[in-house]
Amino acid sequence: MTKVTIPQEVWEYQVVAMAPQPVDWLWHGFVSGGNLTFLPSQWQAGKTTLLSLLLSHGKEGGQLAGLAVKPGKSVVVSEEPLSLWADRARRLAFGDPSRCRRPTPGLKMPQ
């Protein structure tokens, strides 16, 4: 039988009392290194356009919307066909072999 360890509860006053930790911002104020960033929104709201521009600026660093973008590697999980991402990578020059795009097989948009 596997022993299950239940994490100790953390109360709001304990979280507020914690000392601030430095954040490794990849896109200052929005995307931090070592974390998962989820971009929820309705279809056609510009999520993929924003992500494509962020990937493009993240290749060498720079600024996006007036905020610093740190160069680095990225992983994109998307339901969109690889052919669309290939077109974006060519147009915005973010197609770098050291980066990875992992498609999500079988993921379909609801009807």
CA distances from 12 to 7, 22, 64 (A): 15, 20, 34
Q: Kindly report, residue by residue over 78-111, the tens digit of the pLDDT.
A: 778 878 888 888 888 876 544 555 555 555 544 4
> Tens of pLDDT along 37-56?
888 899 889 888 898 888 88
Question: What are the angstrom distances between the C-alpha of 4 and each of 1, 7, 10, 11?
Answer: 9, 10, 18, 22
pLDDT surpasses 90 at 33: no
- Residue range 74-78: mean pLDDT, rounded: 77
Q: Which residues pair with 25 in a beta bridge?
A: 32
* Residue % of the chain over a pLDDT of 90: 24
What residue segments make up the domains of the chain, in order of their start?
24-36+43-103
